[in-house]
Structure 1
Amino acid sequence: MEIQTSLRHPNALRLYSWFHDDERIYMILEYAHRGELYRELRKTGHRTEKQATTYIASLAQALAYCHEKDVIHRDIKPENLLLDHEGRLKITGFGWSVQSKSKRHTMCGTLDYLAPEMVENKAHDYVVDNWTLGILCYEFLYGVPPFEAESQTDTFRRIVKVDLSFPSTPQVFAEAKNLISRLLVKDSSKRLFLQKIMKLPWIMKNADPMDKCSKLDL
């Protein structure tokens, strides 16, 4: 709650205040009229190229803002992405977040979105969020996470090996594949910087200008 209260970005869900009684804690949150992005993904299977680039641009900006504040989210997934009445993406679900300049060792997050360093129980830093952005870009375009498998063991194996392949469907975009491949890199020091994503031609050409927003103190 302390972390979320401190964030002021148009793509991070505001936590305005909170209070408690003897049994519960109540949080006063910004209203996201359209609910979870997860629900919309389950309905359609994937997003259009324009929708995917807009969401990726929004996420990249919001996560870059968090990282500048030394906040690592560590559980970015469709269930933790909400949409407001205008369709603007909002990050929420800060339960696993941490504010730290040092590397962390806690294994946390959701199976299909875990970075290799977490799966291998190694120290991690903010670039686990960069990895997850690559997972989501793939899922937005193809409808499923890239390392999904029948068992947890097989998913872990595919993540550690970065066993990445792209379906031969009409939703395959060369520029998107390039972005995903530059984010889903096992060596965390070589993952694409979030600040560079906004300058990529694929993003600039397709993303909705509504969400090409700078950091605002709302």
Structure 2
Amino acid sequence: MDKKPRDPDARDPEKPFSLADFEIGRPLGKGKFGRVYLAREVKSHFVVALKVIFKEQIEKYKLHHQLRREMEIQTSLRHPNILRLFGWFDDDERIFLILEYAHGDIKPENLLLDHKGRLKIADFGWSVQSSNKRKTMCGTLDYLAPEMVEHRDHDHAVDNWTLGILCYEFLYGNPPFEAESQKDTFKRIVKIDLSFPPQPNVSAEARNLISQLLVKDPSKRLSLTKIMQHPWIVKNADPKGVCLI
């Protein structure tokens, strides 16, 4: 049955979630700030992933703002390809995030597959709920857009760049601008030092899509609408599994 934990917004404030509401199963992952466990809510038997974050680590690395932003954004999002955050609770030492359960990860680490093989986007720690331009630089170095490397204003067009990097890494096994040092990686990104090694399984259409996404001028990158109309996407995408926000 497609049950889910109690809606945290509708719960009795006198009876918040607690660890007693869940049966804890096997560990699913381990990170610097905590661990993730398979869990099942006692009343509904709904299976979730319980992300346990240690407050001591949040204090040490001053991540209060980032964690709060991740929780606010992920709780408010409702989309079949975005990992749900059902709610949260805490005790003296830990914060518990009640997440939709997804099976084994694929790289990069914030893309997951659920039990039906549907793609789920997770980890919104660096996300924003605004269309305004930003000047901060964050994220995996290999995925940074040129405007971020050069500390220029940037907007949603960085996501289109990231799609190009993601496609390249899935097809070739490594990011396109990978280098021995951060400095050399940044140089390659800014120069758009892009090459396509001989790979018989990568079509000319796939290379064309990537080339139109990895463009230095953000305004000239392929839009989401045109991405969905691109021949490689039209040819290979499952229309039942493609959802756009």
TM over 0.5: yes
- The answer for the alignment partner of 1:75 in structure 2 is none
Alignment pair present for 1:99 and 2:129: yes
With a CA cutoff of 8 Å and minimum separation of 6, indicate the structure with the bigger relative contact order.
Answer: 1
SS at the partner of 2:202?
Answer: coil
Deviations 1:174-216 (A, max 9, x none): 111111011101101111111222222221221234412465x
In 2: Cα distance, 1:194 partner to 1:98 partner: 18
- The answer for the alignment partner of 1:80 in structure 2 is 110
Runs ≥4 residues deviating over 2 A? 212-215
In 1: Cα distance, 2:96 partner to 2:170 partner: 32
Alignment pair present for 1:37 and 2:67: no
- The answer for the alignment partner of 2:141 in structure 1 is 111
Deviations 1:92-144 (A, max 9, x none): 11001111121111110011100011111111111111100000111111111
Which of 185, 190, 196 aligns to 1:160? It is 190
More strand by share: 2
Q: When the two structures are aligned, how many residues end up with a matched partner?
A: 175
AA in 1 matched with 2:93 = E
In 2: Cα distance, 1:16 partner to 1:196 partner: 33
AA in 1 matched with 2:128 = V
Alignment pair present for 1:4 and 2:34: no
More helix by share: 1
- The answer for the alignment partner of 2:176 in structure 1 is 146
Q: Name the TM-score, length of structure 1 as normaliser.
A: 0.77
- The answer for the alignment partner of 2:96 in structure 1 is 26
Runs (5+) with no aligned partner, structure 1? 39-77
In 2: Cα distance, 1:191 partner to 1:214 partner: 18
Alignment pair present for 1:172 and 2:242: no
State which structure, 1 or 2, has the greater radius of gyration over its C-alpha atoms: 2
RMSD: 1.3
Runs (5+) with no aligned partner, structure 2? 1-70
